[in-house]
Structure formats: structure tokens, C-alpha cells
Structure 1
Amino acid sequence: MADAMPAAHYLPHDTPMVLVESLCAIGEQHARCRVTVGASGVLRPFLDMNGDLPAWYALEMMAQTIGVWSGWHGRRRGEPPRPGLLLGARALRCAQPVFPQGSELDICISLLLRDERIGSFECEILRAGETLATGRLNTYQPEENEINQLLKE
């Protein structure tokens, strides 16, 4: 994607809470983001003492890739990135306890079902074509007044 911005451009997050680095591919029903596990990248604050990323971060990397997908489509409509909520995950599986230092991870999401505000996505994290994590995430896009109400309480 020659015109792609860094993944953070499509998210309502601030550093250090951005866990994906680049948007590599996007379409109407899919997206692929990439991140490298290493001390010089965005994952630095979350690495263990060996420089590895605990596998439970897979859930947030998948959710942020969904956020990038949503933000990209929103920007095409002239809208800024909006917060979304993760409702839950089903069948989240990681093949190993950590993503090793130096790994280049591709986080892929595919839209399964969507209405105006609820979506379901099949997600996968790959390293050199090998599947390291999978799961199905369900998301909710709140209205502005709902976000304001949540932040008040």
C-alpha cells in the first residue's frame, strides 16, 4: 500500500498504547497489520526480561488491527478514528507462550458479520507464514453520547 500511513494514524490511541506498527493491506472485509517484537519498536514497554512479548498480548494486537480497519474506513468517509469496545473473544488460541524477540508478526483480520455498530472478526497472527495465534473477536462501536456517558462515571 503506497499511500498507507502508520497504523497509529487510524487508531484513537496514544503512545505507548499502540501495539501495531504498520498497515500492510486493507479491503472492504479484511486488514493486515505488522509489528516487530524488539526493544526499538512500539512493543518495547510490554516485553519481558528476555525481550519476548507474552502471548496474551495477541488479543490486543488483534483488537487494534480491527481498530485500524475501522479507522481506515472512517478516514475515507472524512471521520476521525473513534474508540471501539471489545465485547469478547472466542476460541482464542496461542501456539506458544511468547512471541520471540525479533519476530515480525502479521496480524490479519477478516470481517465475518457486521451491522451498524457490532462486528465479528476472524483473526490470526502469523510469523513467516506460520500461524501463532487465532481467535474470533466481537466488537461494538459506541455512539459519541455513549462514550461521554461511560467517561462521566
Structure 2
Amino acid sequence: MTYLSPGEYLPHDAPMMLLESVKDVTEERAVCCVSVNAQSVLAPFLNADGDLPGWYALELMAQTVGVWSGWHRQQEGQAHIALGMVLGARELICAEGRFMAGTTLTITITLLMQDARFGSFECTITAGDATLATGRVNTFQPSAEELTSLFNQGSRT
């Protein structure tokens, strides 16, 4: 199957679009990829050695969850991209604390549990056969009214 670019499923623009391609989406799983190099979408976030700091693992995982959600919304005929939120992560481990320059990261998320507005996903980031990061990401889908209230909080005087 052919997939659209990650930006077609996510409400992100450069430079915050951290994924380059969608490899697979199923009922319970999504797989996305990105290269760690100065020519990739990650270029603005690389350190002096060309490595991506490990704390980006959560955002890579969250964006892959967003791709999964966006793809499913499109399959259901919902044209608009919905904003989702990360409630938190559990047992998030990035073994080396960085993703080394020159690697291609494969981010895989697997649905563990979902109801109308909450989801929990088991996530891994690999490069070849090496597992570089793992964790569980919990997400929330706010309603339009909740988003309006949240984003209008700062405009009150």
C-alpha cells in the first residue's frame, strides 16, 4: 500500500514535522521513518556531533501515533486533521541518550488500548536490528470545545 507523507496526517508544519515517511499503517500499528543527518527534517535539532538528543524519542513516538490516528480518520472519511495530546509516557527509555548521526530511525507504535478519547500505545525506535528506545505513550483526543477553551485561556485579561 502507498501512504501519503506524514504531514498529510498530522497538524504539524516545519520545523516541527519530525517524520519523513510512513511505511505501514494497520488497525493496531503504524511504522514511520526518519534519517538522522544534516539533510533530513531533523537537521535543526541535531547537536554539534550530528546526533539527535534522546529526549526527541517522545515526540517521534507521539507523531507516529498521530499518523496512525490521522490515517484512520481519513479511512473513515474525516477530511480534517485533529489535534491530539500526549498525556504522558511510561517507562520511556532511550538507552544511549541520543540517536547517532547517519542512522535511519524506524518508529513503530502498537495500540494497547483505546476508547473514544484516550489511547495507549507501546512504542519502539529501532535502527536496523538495534532497539534504541522504548516506551508507552498515553494520548487524549480533546473535543473542539476543550481546544477552544484551552487556547483562549491566555487571551483573557
Q: TM-score, normalised by structure 2?
A: 0.94
For structure 2, which runs of at least 5 residues remain unmatched after alignment? none
Letter in 2 for 1:122: E
Q: Which digits, 9 at most, give the CA deviation of each residue in 1:89-129, with x for residues without a partner? A: 00001110210111100000000000000000000000002
Measure how far apart 1:61 and its partner are: 0.2
The residue number in structure 1 matching 2:147 is 147
Name the CA distance, whole Å, in 1 between partners of 2:62 and 2:116: 18
Measure how far apart 1:78 and its partner are: 2.3
Please report the RMSD computed on the Cα atoms of aligned residues, expressed in angstroms. Answer: 0.8
Name the CA distance, whole Å, in 1 between partners of 2:8 and 2:40: 16
* Residues 1:128 and 2:119 aligned together: no
The residue number in structure 2 matching 1:58 is 57
Letter in 2 for 1:91: E
Aligned length: 152
The residue number in structure 2 matching 1:138 is 138
- Aligned pairs for 1:3-152 (under 5 A) are 3-79=2-78, 80-152=80-152
Letter in 2 for 1:25: D
Aligned residue for 1:75, secondary structure, equals helix
Percent identity, please: 51
Measure how far apart 1:145 and its partner are: 1.1
For structure 1, which runs of at least 5 residues remain unmatched after alignment? none
Once the two structures are overlaid, the 10-residue window that deviates more, 93-102 or 116-125, is: 93-102
Give runs of ≥4 in structure 1 deviating > 3 Å: none
Name the CA distance, whole Å, in 1 between partners of 2:81 and 2:49: 34
Name the CA distance, whole Å, in 1 between partners of 2:99 and 2:121: 22
Q: TM-score, normalised by structure 1?
A: 0.97
Letter in 2 for 1:76: Q
Aligned residue for 2:142, secondary structure, equals coil
Q: Which digits, 9 at most, give the CA deviation of each residue in 1:40-98, with x for residues without a partner? A: 11101110011110011000000000000001111112222111010010000111021
Name the CA distance, whole Å, in 1 between partners of 2:53 and 2:109: 20
